[in-house]
């Protein structure tokens, strides 16, 4: 009888909001987005636009599909971002002459120049966390590993992950 009360109590604890890893990640993401909003204000970019620019600064011209894969965004989410970046003069989109269905994105001169203005953003974000570079690196690696493990879970069979 006593063991079942303890186990029941543990189950109740599992359902507390503050014990949910998903909520901890959600809260941290919202906090990061707020800090990024301030850091990116002078660049005139939103956080999702900044992520697109990071991919293009790193990889150069890419198909929209490649940007989406890199950022884990579908084309319905990515297309409006690219349209706004194009309207701002930072990127150009072109249909592939070989395959009309494929659109490639490349930086304009202004988009390339914006990289110089963005160089201080990662340092400002790192300073805002209060973590040293080793702690930030460890956290990033743990989050990458977590994402990789979760990517391997069949969403239709989550019970397998608990088994």
For residue 80, pLDDT beyond 70: yes
Q: If you average pLDDT over residues 42-70, what whole number do you get?
A: 96
Q: Cβ–Cβ contacts within 10 Å for residue 125, how many?
A: 16
Per-residue pLDDT, 100: 75
Structure tokens at 145: 């590993």
Q: If you average pLDDT over residues 107-130, what whole number do you get?
A: 96
Per-residue pLDDT, 75: 87
For residue 160, pLDDT beyond 60: no
Per-residue pLDDT, 163: 44
First-to-last CA distance in the chain?
25
Lowest mean pLDDT among 11-15, 28-32, 55-59, 111-115: 11-15
CA distance 92 to 86: 6
Q: If you average pLDDT over residues 22-31, what whole number do you get?
A: 94
Structure tokens at 112: 């390339």
For residue 92, pLDDT beyond 70: yes
For residue 99, pLDDT beyond 80: no
Which band of pLDDT confidence, cut at 50, 70 and 90, is reported for residue 96?
confident
Q: Are 74 and 48 in contact (CB under 8 A)?
A: no
């Amino acid at each position: 009888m006593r063991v079942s009360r303890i186990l029941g109590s543990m189950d109740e604890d599992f359902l507390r909001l503050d014990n949910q890893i998903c909520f901890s990640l959600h809260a941290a993401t919202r906090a990061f987005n707020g800090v990024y909003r301030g850091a990116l204000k002078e660049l005139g970019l939103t956080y999702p636009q900044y992520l697109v620019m990071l991919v293009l600064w790193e990889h150069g011209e890419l198909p929209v599909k490649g940007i989406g894969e890199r950022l884990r965004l579908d084309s319905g989410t990515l297309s409006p971002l690219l349209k706004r970046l194009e309207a701002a003069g930072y990127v150009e989109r072109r249909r592939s002459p070989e395959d009309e269905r494929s659109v490639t994105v490349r930086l304009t001169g202004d988009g390339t120049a914006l990289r110089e203005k963005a160089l201080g953003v990662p340092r400002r974000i790192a300073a805002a966390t209060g973590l040293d570079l080793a702690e930030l690196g460890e956290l990033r690696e743990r989050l990458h590993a977590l994402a990789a493990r979760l990517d391997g879970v069949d969403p239709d069979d989550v019970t397998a992950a608990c088994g």
